Amino acid sequence: KEVLEMNGPLGGTRILACEQAIAGPYGSMLLGDLGAAVLRIEAPEGEMSRNFAGPQNNGLNYYYLCFNRNKKSLVLDLGTELGKEAFYDLVKVSDVVWDNYRPGVMKRLGIDYNTLKNINPKIITCSITGYGPSGPYVDYPSYDIIAQGLSGLMSINGEPDGPPLKVGIAIGDLGPSMFGALAVAAALVQKEKTGKGQEIYIPQLDSLISLLAYQMSYYFCSGGVPKRLGSGHLSVIPYGAYETKKGYITLGVCWPRVARTVGADWMIDDPRFATQDARWKHREEFEAVFREQLMKAEAKDWVELFRVDDIPGGMVKAIDEVAEDSQVKHNKATISLKHPLGGEIKLAGNPMKMPGTIDEEEYSAPPLLDQHTDEILSELLGWPKEKIERKEAQEKKHAEELSAHIHKQI
């Protein structure tokens, strides 16, 4: 059916998203940005990120807003007869069931791959979990910071003489979410060829190990364990963030040209610094001299010189500066969407620039809880009003039973 479809490369694809927090919502949002119709399945009380701590816009939390554009909100209590029936009916007309619940939850709810493939043999399921569907860690809980620690990522992040640090962004959630979106896109292509669906698992742990590509290769090749280097590189110097007279700059691979730019030509022929191996052997001496040169001017002045000399360098900017950056605005890397309760919300945009993607004007803001339930059930599934009302009555009764059970336990 064409109800609730969008334009874009994935237009005509329907995804049922059973998700929470970041690891699920971010990936399904990327698929929605590409045109998939993402139906966000939530329990009557709503998903946890709707009530997260922090700032809000018209009652919607920042944590929820940033991961849930281009989706429809559908409330289903899978503990009720009609809630389960609605989900199964949706599976019949959908392509993907996407989740980031702990292993075993989907099976306990009766919506795991082995159950759903009997309803729709072409269904694709994608589950993002901490450690995968089996193994010694399978029952352990996981969060972004847990994955960052177990994967080894935190062991290489931070200053050499400081404690291990987590990456500033939630890469333990964002990484597997992106891998999940990529896997789903590949599975959709494969389904076109074979007519078959499949089951996909994306562990957080494996995702971060994949992103540690050259650190792992360094260890396997040398036996040496990568250590914390601040913003430095395992084998390149100079490289990283450097303080200036005012502000910080970053430098990529730039030797020896940068020596001339900073007025230290003599360093190029100095035997202590002439080769990469020599610079590593005399790393502390090199850094002391190089940093002294950079302290002679401000960051903005160095960056102007770098651009003249085609040196890969840039400013270290704060988030408010990034939001006003000319290139960021030119790329439309941030977007403004009409808020469902009035006004506008600003969000980080979609970095995938390709023909046929959805125009920003077609984007929809993150939905209110239950905003599209009646629309989906009536227009997509053809449920009559009386059946929808019975579903709501079952949900209300089930909620009262759960509340009474909880109070009895207390």
Are 70 and 374 within 8 A, CB to CB?
A: no
Q: Give the tokens for residue 151.
A: 């994967």
CA-closest candidate to residue 5, choices 38, 29, 30: 38
| Coil, strand or helix at 369 | coil
* Residue 292, token pair as written in the block: 């002294």
Q: Contact 147/205 with Cβ under 8 angstroms? A: yes
Nearest to 73 by CA among 64, 62, 85: 64
What is the SS3 assignment for 12? coil
- Identify the three-state secondary structure at position 49: helix
Any catalytic annotation for residue 173? Answer: yes
Interatomic CA distance for residues 241 and 114, integer angstroms: 50
Is-contact 18 41, C-beta < 8 A? Answer: yes
Question: Which are the contacts of 178, defined by CB distance < 8 A and separation ≥ 6?
Answer: 26, 27, 30
**Among 358, 360, 335, CA closest to 346:** 335
- Residue of 161, 173, 269, 277 with catalytic role: 173
What's the DSSP call for residue 104? T
Question: Position 256: which residue type?
Answer: P
Give the Cα separation of 307 and 361 in Å (integer): 35
Tokens at 229, concatenated: 């280097």
User: Is the peptide bond between 256 and the residue preceding it cis, with omega within 30 degrees of 0?
Assistant: yes
Listed in sequence order, the DSSP H helices in 195-265 are: 204-211, 213-222, 257-261
Spatial contact of 116 and 123, defined as CB atoms under 8 Å apart:
yes
Contact 232, 240 (CB under 8 A): yes
Q: What is d(CA 358, CA 32) in angstroms, rounded to the nearest whole number?
A: 9
Q: Which residues have a catalytic role annotated?
A: 173
